Every structure is written in C-alpha cells, then in structure tokens.
Amino acid sequence: MKKLALLTLISTMAFAADAPVLIQNATILTITNGTVKGSILLQDGKIAAIGDKVMAPPGTVVIDGAGKYVMPGIIDCHSHIMAEAINEGSVSVSSMVGIPDVLNPEDIAIYRALAGGVTTANILHGSANSIGGKTIVMKMRWGKDAEEMKFEGAMPGIKFALGENPKRAGQSAGGRGAAPTAGRYPATRMGVEDVIREAFNDAVAYKATWDFYNARVAKGEVAIPPARDLKLEPLVEVLEGKRLVHAHCYRQDEILMLLHVADDYHFKIRTLQHVLEGYKVAKEIQERGTGASTFADWWAYKIEANDAIPYNAAILVKKGVLTSLNSDDAELMRHLDKEAAKTVKYGGLTETEALSLITINPAKQLMIDKKVGSLEVGKDADVLLYDGHPLSNFSKVTKVWIDGHEYFDMDQDVQDRPKKEAEKKALVTKAAAEQRLGGGGGRGGNNSAAQGVPQQ
Amino acid sequence: MRRTLPTILLVPLAIAGAAGQLSAGEGPSTYVLRDARIVRVSGPVIEHGTIVVRDGLIEAVGENIAPPADAWVIECKGLTVYPGLVDALSNWGLTNTPAPAVAAAGGRGGGRAQAAVVSTPVATATVTITSAPARGPEDRPSNVAYNKAADQIFPTDRNIESARNGGYTAAVTFPTGNIFAGQGSVISLAGDRAGDMVIVPSVGQMITLANRGFGGGGGGYPGSLMGSIAYVRQIYLDAEHYKLAKSIYEKNPQGLPRPAYDRTLEGVLASDRVMLPAERSVEVERMIAFAKEMKMNVVLYGGHEAWRDTDLLKKTNTPVLVSLKYPVKAADSDPMMDEPLRTLEMREKAPTAAGALAKAGVKFAFYSDGVSTPRDLMRAVKKAIDAGLSPTDAIRALTLSPAEIFGVSNRLGSIDKGKIADLVVVDGDLFSGAKVKYVFVDGTKFEPTDEPAGGGRGGRGGANPGGEAR
C-alpha cells in the first residue's frame, strides 16, 4: 500500500506541470468502445475517465466540448520526418545504419504533423536498399529533445525494400534523378531476393559463431570472441523476433516472394508498406498475421504502382488483414484523417473502421496498442480535439495532447503568428544592415559540409 | 617577421661579444622581461612584474625578481605579457605553402597557393585507398586514423609565421579530409625542424561527419550522415575487439589463431581522445549521446549553437571547441530566399556561445577553423566579448583552457615557473588592435614586422622582400 502511494506520488510529480484536463459535452470517438456523448478526463499523462458524468479533481482545466469531437491521436506507420538522413544508398544491405542516430527534434514538420493530429510516427529508413536501416517509433513531443521524444518501450524496427527502388541499377543512390554511377547489385527482383537470403544466411552463421564461442567459454576453454558485426546484429534480432520488419513493396509477386523468404528463415514480416497490390494476395498476407500499411488512393507515380486501386485498404480490412494508412510524406501526414475518410467512399468501411486505419490498427502493427491507439481508461492521454467530425473535410484539429500535455493549440498558434513574423523580420533587417556595413566577421568561404546549416 | 638578431636588441646588458655573429637559432638563451603587466592566466594579474626566460623555459615570474647577470633585458613598461596563444584546433603547420622567404621549398609558387592547397600532400597521397567503392566498414573507407599531424609538419608553412605575428605560439593541429582524419598533435609555432616543434605527438583522433550526399554517388560506403555515424561506431567496436584479441593472443599464442594486424585500428588506439563535430544544438545532443554510448573521451568542435545546451554540456562535463568562423549567409545566396527563423537566430547568436559556456562553467576553447589571419581571429573574439564573454575568460579560452582540454596544461597555457616560455608581449588591448611587440616561442624571441603577414606577394628567394609583385 505504501509502495503504491509512493508510485502515485512519483507519477504525479512527473506530470506536475500539467493540470488535469476535462473535456465536457463532447462526442468521444473511442474507436474500440463505440461513441460516447459525455466527458473525458486526462490526468497524470493518462486517460483517467470517460463517461456521461466524470468527476474532476480540483484544479482541473475544463473545456466545453459542445459540438466538438474527441478522438485518439493519429499514428503514422510510415514517415521520414525528423530524420537528417533517409537512405544509406551505397550498399544493398545497410542494416548497420539507423534513423535513431540522425533524429532532428527541431524539424518543423513535427509541429505541422501535430497540427494535423499525428501524435506518434514510425520513422523509417528509405527504400534504396533491399535491407535498409534501423527504424524507430517517436512521439511528436515538440520542443523536447530526441531522447525524450522516443516512444518508451516500443519495439525497434528495420526497413526492407523490394522492387524498383532497390534494384535500380546504375543509380546507386536509388533515387529519382540521381546521377548515373557504377551499378550496384541487385538489378532485378530476383537479385533482391538473393540479397535478402544471403544476408540472412550470414546472420545465421554469425549467430552460430557466437553460440560456438559461448559454448567454448562455458567449457572453460580460452578463445578469442568473434568481432561484433553491427550489420548482422539487427538481422539476428529479426530472427529472434526482437525487431519488427517493415517492408516497402508494391507488386503481388514480390510480396509473395518476401513472405516465402520469411517463412524459410522462420521470421515474420510485421508490416508490408505501400503494398498497393495487397488486395491481390490478401489471403496470403492474412494467413501469416502480417500487417499492411498503404495509401488511400495514391497511385501510378511509377510503373509498379499502376495496378493500385483505392479499394485496396477496404478489401484488405474485409479479408482480415491488419491494415493502416500511412503518409510517407510530411505533407500527406497533415491530413491522414481525410485519407481515412476516402475508405468510406471507396469500399464502404464504417466510420470507426476508417478511423481505425490511422489509430488502433497502426498501434497494433507497431505493438504499442496497450498504450495508444484508442480512448480507453489507463492508456496514454494522446488525444485530439476537433471542431467537427474528423472525417469531414470541413473539420480541423484544434487541440492536441500527448501524455496529457498540450502540444498544439490552434488559437495559440494563430495568436503567435504576428509575433514570430516580427521576430524574423527584425533578424533579417539586422543581418542585412550588418552585411551592408561589411563587418560580417569570418570570411564565409571554405564552408565545410560538416558544419553547414541545413535549410529546413 | 623573422628572428631578431642580437644586433637589433633593445637593451643588451652583457654578452655583447657574440652580437652580430649569431645565426638564426642561436639567439640569447636568457631574457628578462622587466616591469611588465603580466597576465598569468593561472593566477592574478601582476601589474608590475618580471619574467625570466632561460633555455626555452620560464625560470621565474613575480614582482621582485633580480635579473640574472647573463640575461638580455627587455624593458616592458606599459606593455602586457600574456601566455602565448594556443589555437585549439588548427591546420597550421600542415600546409605546404611556404612563407615568401623560403618559397624554394615548395614548387607551388607563392601567391595563389593558399587557396589551392587544402589538405596536406601526405594526406592526399594516402587517400588513394578508396579506388573501388567501399562495401562496408570492413573496407576502412575514408580512414587514415594512423596519420599523425606530427609526421606531416611543414616548418615552412606560412600560416605558422602569420599566426605567430598575431601572438599565437602553439597549435593543436589536426589532419582533415577524412571521416577518420588522423591524430592531432600539439606543436610549437616556430622551429627549423618538424621534430623540434612537436610538444605532444598524439592528442586525439579527428572525426568528421560530412554529409556525403544521398547515396554515395558511386563513392561507396558510407554515403550518408547515418552511415558515417554507424561507421564510426563499428570502427571503435573493432578497435576494442582488436585490443582484446591481441591481449588474449599474447597470453596464449599457442593454439589460437593470430589476430590480423590493422593499421587503422592501431591509429584509432593511439589516442583515446575523440574529436566530434557539433555545430548545431541538435548535433551537440546527438554527439553527447553517441559519446556516452561509446564511452568516449570526447571533445566537441563547432559549438556555435552550444548556448542552447549549456546545462547538458556541464552535466556531462564535455569540453567544447568554439569556432572563430561564425556562420554567415553565403555571399552568393538568393537574396529573396526565405530563411527559417532558426537559421537566422543561429547566425545572430553564434557569438554569444562562448559567453554562455563560460557562465555555465563549461570548459571551452577557441579555434581558428580555417581563418588564418590573427587580426580576423581577434576580431571574432572581440565579437564574443561584445556578446557577453569577459576578457578574462576570452584570454583563458585562448591559452590555459585549450592546454587543459588536451592535457598539456602542465607545460603550456599560463605564465608559471617551469612551463614552456611561450609568451606574447603587446602594446594595447589584445582584442582591439593591439600591437604585438614580441613573441616568444620555446624561449626564442620574435618581433613581428610591420609588413602584412602572409601577403604572399613576391619574395622568391627572399633577396628582395616586398618587391616583385607578380
């Protein structure tokens, strides 16, 4: 009992800065437990109560939610914001690199994503390599440093990629418009499969080397330990189920190929990303418990995206595949709610099913659904307040809380704009004046790349 | 500026007999600087004091010191003596751009060479390792960790003389140009032979994390910032393993496979101090986290936005080298370009970084970062002073602090008995156009000449200094 009291005290202290928040008379879309007309209480970083009548402790900030909607924070299963590097395109297996090393918590796209209701995002390596870099799940705690934005306890991931991007021979960068350079294996879909199999063969052998060493040491023999290999360690984690695989893919043939490779090596593909032809192989995806994270209606931007249909998400849902909608883009990320709305029109999903695609489903895919993804007592208070139904084109997010802390407020934003504008203008004017005087200090030249200030 | 021959000396007391016959390097070995204002840095300022320099070392400093009979006395009334300035991260001494008087040493021809020569010829020659694109860390791309600045010194580098003219007497000079650029050395900014100039041969490994573009552009691994960081991590793990494997093998050579010799890892292990780039606040936080993960003895360089992270730097006891080349808008940038507030703010506040670090009690030092003229460097320090840094902290960041950061404060960085006789004697305020009267390096006296340093014009062979304007 004493211990419990102490724990309560500690958790209260941790969120001491945030008074409890009570939103009254609102339409509460819980996603997992239907719609509630009533109140929701955010306290100590968690959802403390939901119901017709909710008692609020003294000091609670009360918000009138009449005519407004409350829903859980949006979760984007595929984003590249806040990363200062996306692709390590020099090699076909780049599992030694990781997005956690290059996070930029000051990326303005974080704030803009918040304004669109995103509270959690899966930050992925790019798709230039058959096996790409390590990925990480982040909460959009704008203003905190990178460490504080990490989603506590979320499983780490790794990016795989199939098809055109990784096989793009002659452009080692793997990006559109990249200068032609010496070709990089693989150049075909067959080669992509080979690269992945080779990498896992190496990982299996690497693990065996360590097992052998540990066995010798256990027997008391003198041995030199194997050198740690940061490229193979994440793949061993995949084999051991300790790291989630998020695989970029388009065509049904390559989707089946990857599922079969995973079968052969006894690991799971956690999510297929894009998976625009997923509707053709929904049964095979569903059988393996693999998730699908797709676009609502983005298509034909490349040959392998030509067979995409806007019914993809709805068909996958109806076939029992755990499905989400993602952005893969800083702009699209700001209106994932409207992307979800499209699945009501194309495929006839219910409103709750549609909203699940951007809340509880991606939470399950990322294995963070015990904490986020729906409005349930005890879950993290990652909550959005809308001025209308979230699926309506005329509605917008007016407030966003993460862990019960308010990170976005539309009125405050509008109010702050003139001040920020003036601040900026003053700096520009001052800099221009200094430049005219020629006293700029330093010589400008020799701008070493390591120290350049990247533009946002 | 050149070595002052005894014939030009001001107040010779004794030993005049040798005057006129001494060649360079054979000046008097004992000097007395009398009635000077002495800024010791390690202790309170002595308003009227005396310094005795003998055989390259400071023999005595204080208020009431009788000049030895064999000393050359220099009257310093109205002058201030500081410890010689130390450039905390430098490339001085590594460039083969000789001062005009010794142009014969390098075939590149005086004037324009400065811009043309970026890295040292030695480093350039070694970098041919990446002829085929690297496929991973095992190919050791962009890695010359075994290079040591001490082995690449050009005593004739014109930067040495021009820096010395401005009061710099030592530099922590590092090779540049690779992710593992090599080991830095503390060197004296005077000497005829490279070996005589080296104070400590290896004081740290230089890491650069330049963004190498989207995907390597055919240059192989690593092709991104992410790749570079992962590469540095793998190399330090490899070095740790290398050390372990060697020690196990040495104890049991019979029955164990022989670990392969790896010269890059030997280089990495030569010094445990790691120089990591951290210009922006994001980079400061990232590199501190990285250093903690790798248990590195880290020194950050860049530091223009470090004012945002003073608490973290203090808490982790991380030293910072602050660049004296402040960020400026590129001269050829689009005038209509809409720059983010953050970028504008960073430029505006860069000169406040040093003051903020001093206030927070973070160990920091200034470095030249490619700015080679002392006048510009002092102007940049003045800017930091105008932005809140005390002159006392400023002088410390140019003397004792760099010495402490690189572990040489027992011999450099302050005016104390027994330390190396590196001194600068000025008339006026060091940061506001003071005239540097004398500079002592390892006890050898130099007098800056009035001609602009490093002007680079003419003087092939030195017969006609200042003539022959190309």
pLDDT level of residue A433 (50, 70, 90 thresholds)? confident
Chain B hits for A90, Cβ within 8 Å:
133-134, 215-216, 219-224, 227
What SS3 class is residue A427?
helix
Whether omega for the bond prior to residue B98 falls within 30 degrees of 0, making it cis, is no
Question: In this predicted structure, what is the pLDDT of residue A174?
Answer: 45
Give the least confident one: B4-18, B95-109, B443-457: B4-18
pLDDT level of residue B131 (50, 70, 90 thresholds)? low
The answer on pLDDT for B188 being more than 70 is yes
- For chains A and B, what is the number of CB pairs under 8 angstroms? 209
Is B458 within a domain? no
| CATH number, position B43 | 2.30.40.10
Q: Which CATH superfamily is domain A1-72+374-417 in?
A: Urease, subunit C, domain 1 (2.30.40.10)
Chain B hits for A427, Cβ within 8 Å:
341, 344-345, 348
pLDDT level of residue B216 (50, 70, 90 thresholds)? very low
Token duo for residue B179: 């992710």
Identical fold at A1-72+374-417 and A74-372? Answer: no
- A223 and B215 within 8 Å at the Cβ level: the answer is no
- A87 and B215 within 8 Å at the Cβ level: the answer is yes
- Dump pLDDT digits (tens) for A276-335: 999 999 999 999 999 999 999 999 999 999 999 999 999 999 999 999 999 999 999 999
Buried b vs exposed e over A434-454: b needs ≥16 C-beta within 10 Å?
beeeeebbbeeeeebebbebe
- The stretch A424-440 carries a mean pLDDT of 78
Alpha-carbon gap, residue A205 to A218, rounded angstroms = 20
Q: How many CB atoms lie within 10 A of CB B363?
A: 20
Count up the domains in chain B and report the number.
2
Chain B hits for A447, Cβ within 8 Å:
330
Angle at A264 between CA A258 and CA A268, to 5 degrees: 60
Whether omega for the bond prior to residue A186 falls within 30 degrees of 0, making it cis, is yes
- The stretch B314-332 carries a mean pLDDT of 94
Name the residue among A230, A447, A451 with its Cβ closest to that of B233: A230
pLDDT greater at residue A350 or residue B336: A350
Question: In this predicted structure, what is the pLDDT of residue B449?
Answer: 77
Question: In this predicted structure, what is the pLDDT of residue B374?
Answer: 92
Where are the alpha helices (H) located in A54-173, listed in sequence order? 108-115, 146-149, 164-167
Length of chain B as a residue count: 470
Which residues of B224-383 form beta strands (DSSP E)? 273-278, 297-302, 320-323, 364-367
User: Does B33 share its domain with B153?
Assistant: no
Classify the phi-psi angles of B407: left when phi > 0, otherwise alpha if psi is within -120 to 50, otherwise beta: left
The answer on pLDDT for B444 being more than 80 is yes
pLDDT greater at residue B449 or residue A369: A369
Describe the crossing of helices B374-386 and B353-360 by its angle, rounded to 10 degrees: 60
pLDDT level of residue B337 (50, 70, 90 thresholds)? confident
Give the least confident one: A184-193, B298-307, B385-394: A184-193
Asked if the ipTM is above 0.95, the reply is no
Name the residue among B210, B227, B257 with its Cβ closest to that of A88: B227
User: Does B59 share its domain with B111?
Assistant: no
**Residue ranges per domain, chain A?**
1-72+374-417, 74-372
Is B465 within a domain? no
User: Does B178 share its domain with B249?
Assistant: yes
- The stretch B433-461 carries a mean pLDDT of 72
Q: Which of B42, B37, B16, B40 is nearest to B28 (CA)?
A: B16
| CATH number, position B325 | 3.20.20.140
Residues 6+ apart with CB under 8 A from B408: B186, B199, B200, B203
The answer on pLDDT for A50 being more than 90 is yes
- The stretch B5-11 carries a mean pLDDT of 41
User: Does B389 share its domain with B436?
Assistant: no
The answer on pLDDT for A227 being more than 80 is yes
- A224 and B219 within 8 Å at the Cβ level: the answer is no
Q: State what percent of residues in chain A have pLDDT above 70.
A: 89
Q: Taken in order B293, B294, B296, B300, is the CA torsion positive or negative?
A: negative
Residues 6+ apart with CB under 8 A from B53: B30, B31, B32, B33, B59, B421, B423, B440, B443
Q: How many CB atoms lie within 10 A of CB B251?
A: 9
Question: In this predicted structure, what is the pLDDT of residue A12?
Answer: 44
- B221 and A90 within 8 Å at the Cβ level: the answer is yes
Q: How many CB atoms lie within 10 A of CB A221?
A: 10
pLDDT level of residue B98 (50, 70, 90 thresholds)? confident
Amino acid at B253: P
What SS3 class is residue A289?
coil
The answer on pLDDT for A269 being more than 70 is yes
- What pTM was computed for the model? 0.88
Q: Is residue B190 within 8 Å of residue B164, measured between CB atoms? A: yes
Alpha-carbon gap, residue A9 to A15, rounded angstroms = 10
User: Does B60 share its domain with B117?
Assistant: no
User: Does B386 share its domain with B435?
Assistant: no
- B133 and A228 within 8 Å at the Cβ level: the answer is no
Beta strands B2-3 and A131-139 are: unpaired
User: Does B57 share its domain with B110?
Assistant: no
The answer on pLDDT for B65 being more than 70 is yes
- Dump pLDDT digits (tens) for A332-384: 999 999 999 999 999 999 999 999 999 999 999 999 999 999 999 999 999 99
Name the residue among B215, B231, B325 with its Cβ closest to that of A442: B325
Strands across the sheet containing A131-139? A74-79, A118-123, A131-139, A157-161, A244-249, A271-274, A291-294, A323-325
What SS3 class is residue A325?
strand
Domain A74-372 has CATH 3.20.20.140: yes
pLDDT level of residue B212 (50, 70, 90 thresholds)? low
User: Does B272 share its domain with B156?
Assistant: yes
Is B140 within a domain? yes
The answer on pLDDT for A253 being more than 80 is yes
Q: State what percent of residues in chain B have pLDDT above 90.
A: 71
Describe the crossing of helices A252-265 and A189-218 by its angle, rounded to 10 degrees: 10
Distances (CA, A) of A247 to A27, A200, B138, B229, B255: 37, 15, 27, 24, 45
Alpha-carbon gap, residue A116 to A111, rounded angstroms = 9
Chain A hits for B209, Cβ within 8 Å:
450
Domain range enclosing B422: 1-83+414-451
Q: Which of A50, A16, A9 is nearest to A403 (CA)?
A: A16
- Dump pLDDT digits (tens) for A125-155: 999 999 999 999 999 999 999 999 999 999 9
Is B344 within a domain? yes
Chain B: closest CA distance from residue A41 (Å): 35
β-sheet bridge partners, residue A71: A384
Q: How is residue A175 annotated by DSSP?
A: S
Distances (CA, A) of B67 to A91, A187, B52, B462: 69, 81, 7, 37
User: Does B68 share its domain with B95?
Assistant: no
- B230 and A85 within 8 Å at the Cβ level: the answer is no
Question: In this predicted structure, what is the pLDDT of residue B97?
Answer: 76
Nearest CA in chain A to B376: A442
Chain B hits for A456, Cβ within 8 Å:
340, 342-343
Beta strands B2-3 and B444-447 are: antiparallel
pLDDT level of residue B330 (50, 70, 90 thresholds)? confident
Residues 6+ apart with CB under 8 A from B281: A106, B305, B306, B308, B309
Alpha-carbon gap, residue A67 to B234, rounded angstroms = 56
- B224 and A87 within 8 Å at the Cβ level: the answer is yes
Asked which of B413, B440, B459 is the last residue of a domain, the reply is B413
Largest interatomic CA distance in chain A: 76
- B226 and A102 within 8 Å at the Cβ level: the answer is yes
Alpha-carbon gap, residue B176 to B216, rounded angstroms = 20
Question: In this predicted structure, what is the pLDDT of residue B51?
Answer: 98
The upper half-sphere exposure of residue B395, i.e. CA atoms within 13 Å in the direction of its Cβ, equals 23
Name the residue among A172, A451, A456 with its Cβ closest to that of B340: A456
Mutate to test the interface with B, among A233, A453, A455, A456 (most CBs of B within 10 A): A453
Q: How is residue A128 annotated by DSSP?
A: S
pLDDT level of residue A250 (50, 70, 90 thresholds)? very high
Q: What DSSP assignment string belongs to B187-247?
A: EES--SSHHHHEEEEEEEEEE------SS-TTSBS--SHHHHHHHHHHHHHHHHHHHHHHH
pLDDT level of residue B433 (50, 70, 90 thresholds)? confident
- B259 and A224 within 8 Å at the Cβ level: the answer is yes
pLDDT level of residue A232 (50, 70, 90 thresholds)? very high
Q: What DSSP assignment string belongs to A342-361?
A: HHHHTT---HHHHHHTTTHH
What SS3 class is residue B367?
strand
Q: Which of A255, A259, A258, A253 is nearest to A274 (CA)?
A: A255
- A173 and B215 within 8 Å at the Cβ level: the answer is yes
Chain B hits for A84, Cβ within 8 Å:
225-226, 282
Is B462 within a domain? no
Chain A hits for B351, Cβ within 8 Å:
441
What SS3 class is residue A278?
helix
- B286 and A179 within 8 Å at the Cβ level: the answer is no
Q: How many CB atoms lie within 10 A of CB A189?
A: 18
Token duo for residue B186: 């503390």
Residues 6+ apart with CB under 8 A from B389: B354, B355, B358, B381, B397
Q: Is residue B90 within 8 Å of residue B325, measured between CB atoms? A: no
User: Does B4 share its domain with B119?
Assistant: no
User: Does B167 share its domain with B24?
Assistant: no
- The stretch B248-261 carries a mean pLDDT of 92
Q: What DSSP assignment string belongs to A8-61?
A: HHHHHHHTTTSPPEEEEEEEEE-SSS-EEEEEEEEETTEEEEEESS----TTPE
Question: How far separated are the first and last CA of chain B, in Å rounded?
Answer: 21
- Dump pLDDT digits (tens) for A101-125: 999 999 999 999 999 999 999 999 9
Query: In the block, which residue shows the tokens 């190309």?
Result: B470
